[in-house]
Amino acid sequence: MTIEEKKPYTVFGYGSLIFKPPPHVIRQVPGFLKGYVRRFAQKSHDHRGTPENPGRVVTLVHKADWDVFSGSDAFPDEDVVWGIAYTIDPQYESEVRDYLDYREKDGYTIEEIDVWGIEDGREVVVAANCFTYVGLPENPSFIGSEPIDQLAERIWQSVGPSGRNKDYLYELSAAVRKLAPESHDSHLYALETRCRRLDAEHGDAHQN
């Protein structure tokens, strides 16, 4: 099979990939997944925290599974996750796969999904058979549901090699708002509100 005949490698970003895209992108389209939630349910030992003080980063969880793990979700009616589908230049597919495998090494595995969008008021598939990295519940870094105020405190005070955990949250929130007129994430925005309240109470300093 030649490069021209091969199906393009497309990856869906729903976390840091939204505001820090992969290299060698030839096309990108905003869209959403159905039947999932985006939650700060994954420990970050290597990017936004340390092994001794892990931060929290997002993962995808099937809505039905999350309902089991969370007990009572504060945002029960949302089951779509907005992000970006990136199509990679076929010449660099192997390089980008290796790059993403390393970047998402802390407990993430690959799933294949369809990405939806809204065109002329209708929901349509904008990227079929798209790959995405998911921290499944059985991976050792999955922490599940935490009380939202406790989670916000953890995010606010955590720092790792890639920077402050709260900056990850703030950049992600800002990026999701810009994806499309319909893009939204109540859980994300509620955490942002709580962390900014901590900024106001304690000052926007670099935490240790």
Catalytic residues: 104
Least Cα distance to 58 among 107, 97, 2, 21 occurs for 107
CA 16 from centre of chain: 6
**Rounded alpha-carbon distances, angstroms, from residue 59 to 28, 40, 79, 197:** 21, 6, 14, 24
Alpha carbons 66 and 70: distance in angstroms, whole number: 6
Q: Supply the Cα-derived Rg of the chain in whole angstroms.
A: 17
SS3 state at 167: helix
CA–CA separation, 155 vs 161, rounded Å? 14
